[in-house]
Structure 1
Amino acid sequence: MKVLTLWQPYATALVLGIKKVETRSWATNYRGELYIHAAAKSYKEIIKIIGSEKAKQLTEYLSRQSNYKSIKELPYGAIIGKVEIIDCKQQFLIMDKWPEINSLEINWGDYSDYQRFAWRIANPVVFDNPISIKGMQGLWNWEGDTDGEF
């Protein structure tokens, strides 16, 4: 199974269906089911990287859409759900064409360079029981068993 590791709160936003486009500096030809792994990076490290104001804004929105009230409560170091990649295009090709690209979506992604790539996501699923596992960079393969895990 293909897996992508993301920082929180982006991983949770993707499997909840709040975030509908994943932005990357690289394209993928892969289409299909993609397991989402929440990186083990601590919330304190993430806040340092994305900034406290951005972290607060994203977490407040996430708390209105889910049972999570703080970035501290989110799962870390685990596969937390799955989505489906249905398309991948350079951002400059889709900015006015994909209805998902709105002000909310732009706030959840990195649209700073139109040369970046937008991965169109569908069919989000949250696992009731996250699967603890070490993540990796890029798309990676996991051969684990998900029977009864979600």
Structure 2
Amino acid sequence: MKALTIWQPWATLIMAGVKPYEFRGWPAPRALRGTRIAIHAGARPVRKSELADLILRLRSTESWSTALKPEALAMIERWHSNPFALPLASILGTAMLGEPKRAYDIVSEFGAKLNDSDRDEHSNWAWPLTDIVPLEPIQPAKGAQGFWDWRA
């Protein structure tokens, strides 16, 4: 199975169903669309400043800019108090990778009129992730950039 490494807290937010899209600068590979992929939490430590920024944005009129569902706020507030609660370097579960969409086509789902991201080159494409299946227990894995092979 192909796996995709995603930094925390984003990987756990995907598994919780409150981050419906993974954003990348390119469309997902055609061969993987419509297939199940493993979601891997990268080894990079969680940055409290990123969590604090997400909290501020989710509490504001700019909450759409996070592309997160409102339920994400309580989770992120807990992790801000204890960022070590998030697993690192592990396969968290699997998801179905959907047909990529242009980011500006999906921002209305989160209450925005347009994509005014200053990270436009990083978030041009929204990759839908559905049919989330958590892995219990999670499996330690080193990971890699891009898609890589994981044996369950």
Q: TM-score, normalised by structure 2?
A: 0.70
Aligned-pair CA distance for 1:111? 7.8
Does the alignment pair 1:71 with 2:83? yes
Unaligned runs of 5+ in 2: 59-71, 112-116
Aligned-pair CA distance for 1:113? 2.2
Cα separation, 2, equivalents of 1:86 and 1:124: 12
Cα separation, 1, equivalents of 2:118 and 2:106: 11
**2:120 counterpart residue number:** 113
**1:20 counterpart residue number:** 20
Is the 8 Å Cα contact of residues 52 and 80 (structure 2) preserved in structure 1? Answer: no
Cα separation, 2, equivalents of 1:132 and 1:141: 14
**1:11 counterpart residue number:** 11
More helix by share: 2
Unaligned runs of 5+ in 1: 104-109
Aligned-pair CA distance for 1:26? 1.4
Identity rate of aligned residues, in percent? 28
Change (3 A) 1:63 1:83: same
Change (3 A) 1:37 1:68: farther
Aligned-pair CA distance for 1:20? 0.5
Is the 8 Å Cα contact of residues 87 and 121 (structure 1) preserved in structure 2? Answer: no
Q: Secondary structure at the match of 1:87?
A: coil
**1:85 counterpart residue number:** 97
Q: Secondary structure at the match of 1:42?
A: coil
Is the 8 Å Cα contact of residues 89 and 143 (structure 2) preserved in structure 1? Answer: yes
Code of the aligned partner of 1:62: M
**Paired residues, what number?**
130
Aligned-pair CA distance for 1:71? 2.3
Q: TM-score, normalised by structure 1?
A: 0.71
Structure 1 residue ranges, 4+ long, deviating more than 6 angstroms after superposition: 66-69
Change (3 A) 1:2 1:41: same
Cα separation, 2, equivalents of 1:95 and 1:60: 18
Superposition CA RMSD, Å: 3.1
Is the 8 Å Cα contact of residues 79 and 85 (structure 2) preserved in structure 1? Answer: no
Change (3 A) 1:71 1:90: same
